[in-house]
Chain A
């Protein structure tokens, strides 16, 4: 177990370093250079300046280092907890993240909880119901859930719950009320995936001999589904939750824009557009760390939830 854990942590670090490095070089390969964008943002373009002025501007924005020099510099400082300065915001990236991350964590956390509740609830209900037409209708619902675009769903929810009914605010990142609509918007596609997978899981499990045994013991349908059905059908969900964490971060880009929320998703998108390398790198590192961590936890949970799985067999 210890050996497995060490191996996995090593792997995780490698993934982190890989994500960081690949992002850095991709940003460097994008057309247009950061200095030109910064200058154009302050109303000037690089070709309008003399070489001396250009050099001055380059120094001012800290862009006077070479490709590899800057990479190692950034990496070295990142290892020491210093994620550098944002070029356009002129502030330490750690401060920015400290400011923005809670917003996105709250949004993503709520969305993951909501999607699990809704996804598991829907699949559970579908499995429990015996009236064919309703069962079929509920089984079709998930495909609708993930085929509706997130931005459209967000606008629809705003129209109905913020503008028509006036129950919840349409924009902002203050208070719990402003979290409800964006979290629901973000939760719907994930919920649909969970529901679909769990519905299939129930279908498979229902045919298993131990279900017949459970019925033979004299348990009611509800008891069989809760004790024997769900526990066996739900295992694939665990893997999915790990993967959905990544989707939630990318979904936050859209949701935060629609609801004018001030989170990491929007920061990431804007930082990419203006080639604010330290900011993008920090966001990638943090998201990759979160992704790796959640998936590590998921893997470690498996043996406890399903005693048939042991890690030692895999590594030895």
Chain B
């Protein structure tokens, strides 16, 4: 189904050798004395993760949990860290090859797609069971898809609804053959069947309420079971001894090497890093890429830095071109595009090896089309465009026109980053005044909906170019206002036509053409301003072997081995 995909950045920069000293102080007599008194009980109580089974337990430290939508129900979850967890508990009909984006068998051995791309017949594996003992079969698939559809009807805003777009009903042909029928074309549907969001849970899971599933009552077919999930604290995955049906993406074809995976959510960065450096976390996996200082520190302790660009849009800024806003002028937008120095962004905010963003999608997205030459840093060109558009530099170094300063309001939440300040400085050089408008999430949402911004930013992760529709197609976008405002009226029609031809295409070359033209359009019209490649980085301790990424940018814990470094 999918074609070319640029090489990914998985597993770069391995440096091993040094070990992390694990503190194991026997308590000296002096301390024992000290401990007598108010702290006696406290000091002698052992911390829970000092257990002797540590050798077979993998501990993962993520950043803070999602506190707005508390859910590990696969269909509702957009939070990347939860999708990592779920990938190891619940499996999907198909899988996606992280190297080339191709859809490969998983719970389904094979499938046929009808010529009109409206019906998908899956032939299922017959040796799969859910962790509660239920058999995985065509009825289970039907119950999963129907339950998801019912939930999306009840709550159309739910994230999984975009994956299920067009799904009508399922037909059980026999116990191990199921046909999923769409009412309208959705070229991304096959890829959707490979995602965590459309993972198949046991029919028993769907008997429960969505809220019970959200709090961890998840029964899947994966190599681990979810023992518990405690919001904002952590989760524990326990290995399934009888697991034997991985996709070809997994190297380990049997049960997991580790007995359990302990996941903890640590909001405070220095504490999280400290735990990793202390050897109390095997994988340090925050959302944002590491700073150069941290990177060097971890590597000096023998850690390996794992990186992969997350599929989906790059970190783009989206303009508001409507309502007489300044970015309604294409010249100004093009000048803005030229005034951003993406190379120095990547190299100063992150590090010298950090990839420079080269398109509106990240390179791991199927049908990615590089736009590097159009995104080159050209401050002179930007100044010429601004001069031509009638914006002239004043005494204060900023440009003015008819007494108005060229001030752009960039809405961001919850705090500005070093990168935002860098862009502000880059734009100042060509005379653009970028106001970093820091808002709470509530204000930011309201600002987007009211169109009260010049630039805003958002992202979604999915290894199919269709994901851009949830941001930039007003008919399917999370925020129709942001999606509409990003284009001038005549461009909107063109973009929608390209989205349509992308989603209705039945053959690869058609999709490649539609999404290629779309990427050209977005860059040429400056309807998206890429800032940086959304690289997801994890630091793994020396004792962790065989960390590998999935196509969605998650990890397969079943492949990971922990040993003594």
A residues at B contact (CB < 8 Å)? 30-33, 36-49, 53, 56-57, 60, 88-91, 114, 117, 155, 158-159, 162-163, 165-180, 257-260, 262, 266, 270, 273-275
B76 adjacent to A155 (CB under 8 Å): no
B277 adjacent to A43 (CB under 8 Å): no
A57 adjacent to B155 (CB under 8 Å): yes
Residues on B with C-beta less than 8 A from A37 are 68, 441-442, 445
A41 adjacent to B478 (CB under 8 Å): no
- Give 1 or 0 for each of B22-56: 1 = CB within 8 Å of chain A CB: 01110000010000001101110111110000000
Task: Answer yes or no: B328 CB below 8 A from chain A CBs.
Answer: no
Residues on A with C-beta less than 8 A from B70 are 88-90
Task: Answer yes or no: B489 CB below 8 A from chain A CBs.
Answer: no
B68 adjacent to A88 (CB under 8 Å): yes
Q: Which residue of A lies closest to B210 (CB)?
A: A90
A57 to B69, CA, bound (A): 14
Of B226-234, B298-306, B500-508, the one contacting chain A is: B226-234
A165 to B34, CA, bound (A): 14
What are 15 A-B contacts defined by CB distance under 8 Å? A32-B442, A41-B69, A44-B158, A45-B480, A47-B479, A47-B481, A48-B480, A162-B278, A166-B23, A170-B275, A176-B45, A177-B43, A177-B47, A178-B47, A260-B265
Task: Answer yes or no: B443 CB below 8 A from chain A CBs.
Answer: yes
**Interface Cβ pair total, 8 Å cutoff:** 189
Q: Which of B418-454 contact A (CB under 8 A)?
A: 440-446, 448-449
Residues on B with C-beta less than 8 A from A176 are 41-42, 45
A42 adjacent to B266 (CB under 8 Å): no
A53 adjacent to B68 (CB under 8 Å): no
B440 adjacent to A172 (CB under 8 Å): no
B155 adjacent to A89 (CB under 8 Å): no
A172 to B45, CA, bound (A): 13
B449 adjacent to A36 (CB under 8 Å): yes
Q: Which of B461-498 contact A (CB under 8 A)?
A: 470, 474, 476-483
A42 to B155, CA, bound (A): 10
Residues on A with C-beta less than 8 A from B477 are 48
Additional pairs, 15, CB under 8 Å, beyond known A36-B442, A177-B42, A273-B68: A40-B441, A42-B76, A42-B157, A45-B449, A45-B479, A47-B448, A47-B479, A162-B274, A167-B25, A172-B233, A175-B45, A259-B271, A273-B67, A273-B441, A275-B442
A17 to B440, CA, bound (A): 28
B46 adjacent to A177 (CB under 8 Å): yes
Residues on A with C-beta less than 8 A from B48 are 172, 174-175
**Which single member of A45, A165, A168, A259 contacts B445 (CB below 8 Å)?**
A45
A180 adjacent to B43 (CB under 8 Å): yes
Give chain A nearest CB distance to B118 CB in angstroms. Answer: 24
Residues on A with C-beta less than 8 A from B441 are 32, 37, 40, 273-274
**Which single member of B25, B42, B158, B215 contacts A165 (CB below 8 Å)?**
B25
A43 adjacent to B158 (CB under 8 Å): yes
A175 adjacent to B38 (CB under 8 Å): no
Residues on A with C-beta less than 8 A from B68 are 37-38, 40-41, 88, 270, 273-274
A176 to B277, CA, bound (A): 24
Residues on A with C-beta less than 8 A from B154 are 56, 60
